[in-house]
Amino acid sequence: MARTFPSYVPSARSFTPGEYPVRTYRSQSGVVSKRIYGNKPTNYELQLTFANVDDSVANDIVAHYEDTAKQLEGFNLPNEVFGGMGSGLKSKIQAPSNVTWSYASPPQIKSVFIDVSTVEVSLIGEINV
């Protein structure tokens, strides 16, 4: 597994819980049946914003993105990413414990001032077997 995401506390987070793998079938007569293909959700989404941070923070995040993109491997999130978040919600994001994260898209960096940037990161969490 690739190295852990950099240990910075984001200024904002947006989380979408995973979905259960359900398939819906419709017959020609209109009857609908559903089948679930697992007992754990998948495809978690987490957006992190690091507002007005030093460019060294932005550089660390981009370096991590480049490392993991080359290896096609997931990574873990350190506790600092959940800094200031209640333990109940934190457990929802980190549960099940075998979720690994990957980048949904490259980090977006907005230059705010000299050596100050805002970094937005979009992650997808999948169950690692």
pLDDT in tens, 25-76: 998 888 999 888 887 777 889 999 999 999 999 999 999 999 888 777 788 8
Selection from 8, 4, 129, 1 nearest residue 77 by Cα? 4
How big is the CA angle at 60 (ends 56 and 62), to the nearest 5 degrees? 115
Q: In the structure, what pLDDT confidence band is assigned to residue 89 with cuts at 50, 70 and 90?
A: confident
pTM here is 0.81
Give the whole-angstrom CA distance, residue 30 versus residue 24: 12
Domain residue ranges of the chain, discontinuous segments joined by +:
12-127
Does residue 43 contact residue 126 with C-beta atoms inside 8 Å?
Answer: yes
The predicted pLDDT at position 105 comes to 94
| CB count in 10 Å sphere of residue 22 | 10
Side-chain-side CA neighbours of 13 within 13 Å: the count stands at 19
Residue-level length of the chain: 129
